[in-house]
Structure 1
Amino acid sequence: MTVTAERDTVSVGEFDFECGESIPELEIAYETYGEFEGDNAVLICHALTGSAHVAAHPDADDATSGQARAWWDDIVGPGKAIDTTEYYVVCANVPGSCYGTTGPASTNPETGEPYGTDFPPVTVRDWTEAQRALLDELGVPHLHAVVGGSVGGMNVLEWAKRHPDHVDRIATIATAPRLDTQSLALHGIKRRAITADPAWDGGDYYGEDHPDPTDGLALARQIGHVMYLSKASMDRKFGRRSAGREAERTFPEEPAAAFFPYRDVESYLDYQAEKFVDRFDANAFLTMTRATENYDLAAGFESDADALSAFDGSALVMSFTADWHFTVSQAESLAESLREAGTATAHHVVESDHGHDAFLVEPENVGPPLADFLEAGVTGSAVTDTSDDDDEPTESDFAPVHTGLFS
């Protein structure tokens, strides 16, 4: 079935950031799928290094979309969980990124040079306000739902906090109201990997005669990959195996390295890093991670529940048992805050050993409850609230949801 799709960039004019700074023009890259019918718009919020290219369509040029394939194509499309024959789907690249929306690598019209580190500090609030401005340009005053995974889920929460009257349903997947201390530490190491690269040069590395800080960005990406996997998934996929004979080490090694095996897991991380540095900008990575780690749902309010008190729609919180980046317990805390705020809420826990990446690689577990939630809210047949409301929540209190429920 053919679905109308659009890929474009729109200017929303001068944009004021939460930090107090502004830029003369913010351009937003976006994609839309399906037909707008007044009450069927669904906004999808991408994760840290995602793009607007959420689903495949004939007009998309994957070579320039920023990613080898549409990042949630298993979930978004005709007949899929977010059915583009029923919903008008919008996905926008957020400010500070490098996939078409204005960010550090963009040209500052006042200087004719890339913004670099002169680009204003960006927050999740800025992402939300930019999306609101885009929807105004598209003539979409109200959203049936806002959906997002990982840091895109923080973006979803900010919609409920800042524009509670503009959205009926929110779905947060593998996310939390804020990063925990361990994640803050790892984010800090990722940033230091970039800024310690001599080629970063204080962020002024643009131009044909200047090398990009690819080594630092590659290391940052590798740290991120480890954060997104679980022990079980890494053991299953790589074990302690050596890489194949054709595999070559990407990074310089000490002389003794020749005596020891180049392991399969190292080769995988090197390969992923090589692909990533070809498609992402180091300053944009710094900007996006700063926005993520400084997000706090309760900022400006007494609590998370207080921040969500004006939202009177319904909410789906989804978490995964092996996700140590955004844990089941963090998700349950969010669900409890939503309930305290009076929001009809289901916390759907998926038994999975894929780690944080589960929301991207397990469409058979993510799709059914999400589809039912969009159609029927928390009363959907596949939307199961698996949290235990009677006792103090611990991870062992959550009854896992098995694939068989959806077969």
Structure 2
Amino acid sequence: MATDSGVAAVSAERIDLGSFTFECGETVPTLEVAYETYGEFTGSNAVLVCHALTGSAHVARRGKAGAGVADQTTTGQARAWWDDTVGPGTAIDTTEYFVVCANVPGSCYGTTGPASENSETGEPYGSEFPPVTVGDWTRAQRRLLDELGVGRLHAVVGGSVGGMNALEWVRRYPDDVDRVAAIATAPRLDAQCLALDAIARRAITTDPNWNGGDYYGDDRPDPNQGLAIARQLGHVMYLSKESMAEKFGRRAVGRDAGGERFPPGPTTDFFPYRDVESYLDYNAEAFVDRFDANSYCYLTQAMDDFDLATGFGSVADALAAFAGEALVVSFTGDWHFTVEQSSAIADGFRETGTSVAHHVVDSTHGHDAFLVEPDRLNPPLADFLVDGVAGRAVTDTDSATDRDDHAPVHTGLF
């Protein structure tokens, strides 16, 4: 697909993949997948982008397709979530690559999930929707690409749980991928993150309007209070102490700023309403308008359940069949998916003899760095997609005091 002006074209679609059996053994009669494509497919230039937890297929602005094509919020998000990294002239250049991004099963941005209608009953699935896994996401993506006529991928790229999705591609379909870029991710969640996700789900399931996950219908309110608290907890996980101190400190919102707690707190006329509270409340209110509480529970459970070594014994064994090249990117301020966890992925690739670079970025932004620091992420990612680990900006910054073939740590390259 290309426009007359030569600018890469884009399409937003929804496809029916027919009956789909999840890894849990349960089947849905119809799995519809929402996806967007960018650029022209030449047969060997396909790049699959895997979105993070609450992301969508809307990875880049549709307006980048050319003049007269407006940005459309077809997936319910007001802004393309990786617009500075995907598009003409960016790291994943849509004038060079055919980019595919698909919303995952269990989500609420166009792909079949708990809020979708069961074609056999005419009612929303609700609590009857099957449990989903990262493996299910990957299998659905493979079926979508088959429908699009895409066989082998030039690259799979993903950040956060999208990075887990990308690693699952290497584990499940090693012959279908030339290059993989796993960004701000881990082979599995640690106990602290598992605990925080459990608290987030508990906030949802103890909401008075939860009703066992079957809250759909005009006469039922959604469990928005629980979902809001879960999202607030998520935002704290995505930021670092340093970035929160810099953004908010202990500053209070002025009385004339119109700040209001969500939900309202006690004795608000006496205690200050702080900037950090205002930030969390604003984002929570916006989130409950665009996301589904069931989907949040399903997707966090899928992330919690993922363990790259499952069924293989070790990370290296899970990656052993992959014969391509790998880029691992981590950020020093990210305590959600740490540099050490990324090192475990890179070491797993090295043990199998895979060409791999672990690029460490010195950052204070926390987990959100892969979204908000394109100036530091884009150079190594762009060079990796073009030249693999030999790319000029793809310096391996992993610790290598006992290895002569890898450079020592030197973060903050850009």
Q: Name the TM tier (shorter chain).
A: over 0.9
2:98 corresponds to 1:88: yes
1:311-351 deviations in Å (ceiling 9; x for gaps)? 01000000000000000011111100111122100000000
Q: Once the 2 structures are TM-superposed, how far is the Cα of residue 388 of structure 1 from its aligned partner? A: 2.0
Deviation at 1:67, TM superposition (A): 1.3
Distance in 1, matches of 2:218 and 2:402, equals 60
- Change in CA separation of 1:40 and 1:63 when aligned onto 2, cut-off 3 Å: closer
Give the 5 Å matches for 1:35-74. Answer: 35-58=40-63, 62-74=72-84
1:379 is aligned to 2:384? no
With over 3 angstroms needed to count, the CA separation of the structure-2 counterparts of 1:232 and 1:345, relative to structure 1, is same
For the 8 Å contact 1:386–1:401, the answer to whether it is kept is: no
Query: Is residue 2:323 matched to residue 1:312?
Result: yes
Matched residue, 2:3: none
Question: Moved runs in structure 1, 4+ residues, more than 6 A?
Answer: none
Aligned mates of 2:226, 2:308 — CA distance in 1 = 30
Match of 1:340 in 2: 351
Aligned residues: 398
Q: Which residue of 2 aligns with 1:16?
A: 21
Superposition map of 1:391-402 within 5 A: 391=402, 398-402=409-413
User: Which blocks of at least 5 consecutive residues in structure 2 are unaligned?
Assistant: 1-5, 64-68
Secondary structure, in 3 states, of the residue corresponding to 2:157?
Answer: strand
Of 129, 140, 152, which aligns to 1:130?
A: 140
Give 3-state SS (helix, strand or coil) of 2:34's partner.
strand
Matched, 1:30 2:35: yes
Per-residue Cα deviation, 1:339-395 (whole angstroms, up to 9, x for no partner): 112210000000000000000000000000000000000000000100122349xxx
Contact 1:348 1:401 in 2 (8 A): no
The RMSD of aligned alpha carbons is 1.2
TM-score under structure 1 normalisation?
0.96
- Letter aligned with residue 13 of structure 1: G
Residue of structure 2 equivalent to 1:214: 224
Which whole-Å deviations, capped at 9, do the CAs of 1:265-323 have from their partners, x for residues lacking one? 00000000000000000001000000000000011111110011000100000000000
Output the TM-score relative to the length of structure 2: 0.94
Q: Conserved in 1, the CA contact under 8 Å of 2:134 and 2:168?
A: yes
For residues 387 and 250 of structure 1, what CA distance do their matches in structure 2 show?
Answer: 43
1:275 maps to which of 277, 281, 286: 286
Report the Cα offset of residue 60 of structure 1.
6.3
Residue matched to 1:75: 85
Structure 1 counterpart SS, 2:203: helix
Identity %: 68
Structure 1 stretch displaced more, 305-314 or 57-66? 57-66
What is the CA-CA distance between 1:179 and the residue it aligns to?
Answer: 0.2
Instruction: Report if the CA contact (8 A) 2:204-2:226 is conserved.
Output: yes
Structure 1 equivalent of residue 263 of structure 2: 251
Alignment equivalent of 1:357, drawn from 338, 354, 368: 368
SS in 2 for 1:199: coil
- C-alpha change, 1:62 and 1:268, in structure 2 (3 Å) is farther
**2:201 partner SS:** helix
Contact 2:138–2:169 (Cα < 8 Å) also in 1: yes
Deviation for aligned residue 1:61: 5.3
Measure the CA separation in 1 of the matches of 2:413 and 2:312.
37
User: Distance between the aligned counterparts of 2:360 and 2:141, measured in 1?
Assistant: 29
Tell me, yes or no, if structure 1 residue 326 matches structure 2 residue 337.
yes
Distance 1:276 1:303 in 2: 37
Matched, 1:229 2:239: yes
Residue equivalent to 2:66:
none
Alignment of 1:68-217 (within 5 A): 68-217=78-227
Question: Do residues 266 (structure 1) and 271 (structure 2) align?
Answer: no
Distance 1:332 1:286, change over 3 A: same
Q: Is the 8 A contact 1:47 1:151 kept in 2?
A: yes
